[in-house]
Structure 1
């Protein structure tokens, strides 16, 4: 489901797991004997189809040329799927990525999903823009009771395709704790350990 008010999509678009691409976040065997972290899955996402490729390419062109007036004309055609693919296309530019993420949010209330949020979180944290990432995440977890419980999985499944940093999980844990969502923080902490990532205090 897409955003309608505070409703978000939670699946990663019929993802497929590539077993040969599985690797743990970090090697923790040296830290704990006889214990191996669960590998982080590499999941692909469906390629744009129909008019989606045209939108993604045109939006990308307008973004790199800072032609926001032309981009505004596309706002009625924005979908979470298209936003996600544009973000993946421009993810090397964290400033432009955040500008586009915010533009989509203000122009079309149905333009975001948990997946688009996870992609921007990966982009920001791997570029060490932790305050911006925390702001995005804080606004998300402060709302629906359902969303925080689903956020770990969405971040996990988009981790590899965004070439992310383990610090995104650290950020998730700390944001839960600061928001006093202690059950979510505890669940995130133990799942982080399962996947070989540990919160930094």
Structure 2
């Protein structure tokens, strides 16, 4: 009997001979379904280990899991997809979607870690990450907190310029950056010795009406201390206010002096900023008026300065030693010495004591006007009250004395000032050397040359050649008198 079989006893499955079928459009929903139903890493690997991942597939799975209740499942899939498939690399868009999901669900530490990974593992410019976060913001509405975390992550990684650029770009787009993020940026800038950036951030905060708190003020106080400007600002404010000002007033005054030095500084815009600080009780009337008058005088805008002074008096603020000194300096620089002397007398009659800067202005102004007797009188008063002139005033005084043939007097004054702690500079020594050189006293020129070298002050090459040659001339005269004892001076071989 012949048996007829209906079907073959063995059929080889196609999977032995062919590659797995690429996932269809339903693959994203299959992955999502597995995760929502409790599937973990091993289940993903067992079922989808051979799947071909694409950025669009990953993004769709993440979007399917964007609800806060599914955030940890989304994070699991994000890490699985990059670890299980070594050839697959997440796009910035995938990173951004995952970050939004984590922030929305309150997983801020995980979001920060993912941001660090996106910054370090992607080769695209940092601005692309911000653009990716913005482009996915509507699809996964996490709220503005995500941008705070971005700024804080940049600050943590000491990418301070990127952090500040992100702040500027986001606020221009209408997003708000929290004071916490600005404080983080200020703190890291201070610790990184990026003082200019710290002031830039602080100024930007105020312009954007993000007002500092105690932490901000403390950080900026540390910046001023490390810069060496804190004591100078306190000294100025003591002369304005008559008593120690609050830390916020000190920092905001320091900001004014910082930005007033800029070439493109607009005083009128600065006044708007000061008035805004005044409304927030972060500065006081007398300081506001004094700072504006100081800047107007520094720029030679005396008419505007006097207008502000009149307004200051009408507000009941009264004058102060700092304002008087500002006007005295402006008049000295413009050559109106008589008016400067009158203000000096008025200042003293009003009960305000001249200080180092006041005397320095008078000495410099009288020297420039060749009123040496009055210059020396102010110098003597200054020394008597325990002050020494600044370098500009000292150099002007010594220079005019040398021009008038009183080089020995100028040299004696420098000796006294050096004993009192004055820091002479290259210009100081050059003036005296030229004075003795014009008088034909090569020996004193040589002494000054070695003295300034001993003090660590170095002349420029042109001046150095001249001094060496003067030394050589003196030595050559010695050679003519005593050839056996002749030695070449330093610099001549």
Distance 2:142 2:24 in 1: 25
Secondary structure of the 1:133 match is: helix
Report the Cα offset of residue 57 of structure 1: 1.3
Residue in 1 that maps onto 2:34: 62
* Cα displacement string for residues 69-88 of structure 1 (whole angstroms, at most 9, x for unaligned residues): 45223243222211100010
> CA 1:74/1:148 → structure 2, altered by over 3 Å: closer, same or farther?
same
> CA 1:53/1:143 → structure 2, altered by over 3 Å: closer, same or farther?
closer
Structure 1 segment 150-169 matched on structure 2, within 5 A: 150-169=128-147
CA contact (8 A) 1:125 1:168 kept: yes
1:178 is the counterpart of 2:156: yes
* Cα displacement string for residues 135-175 of structure 1 (whole angstroms, at most 9, x for unaligned residues): 11112213456342210000000000112211111111111
Aligned-residue Cα RMSD (Å) equals 1.9
Secondary structure of the 1:146 match is: coil
More contact order relative to length (CA 8 Å, sep ≥ 6) = 1
Report the TM-score, using the length of structure 1 for normalisation: 0.69
Report the Cα offset of residue 114 of structure 1: 0.6
Where in structure 1 are there 5+ consecutive unaligned residues?
Answer: 1-49
Distance 1:169 1:52 in 2: 36
Residue in 1 that maps onto 2:52: 77
* Cα displacement string for residues 56-101 of structure 1 (whole angstroms, at most 9, x for unaligned residues): 1111121112334452232432222111000100111111111111
* Cα displacement string for residues 78-128 of structure 1 (whole angstroms, at most 9, x for unaligned residues): 222111000100111111111111111211131511111000100011112
1:141 is the counterpart of 2:113: no
Secondary structure of the 1:112 match is: coil
1:98 is the counterpart of 2:71: no
Secondary structure of the 1:150 match is: helix
Secondary structure of the 1:142 match is: helix
CA contact (8 A) 1:78 1:111 kept: no
> CA 1:99/1:144 → structure 2, altered by over 3 Å: closer, same or farther?
closer
Q: Which has the larger radius of gyration?
A: 2
Report the Cα offset of residue 183 of structure 1: 1.9
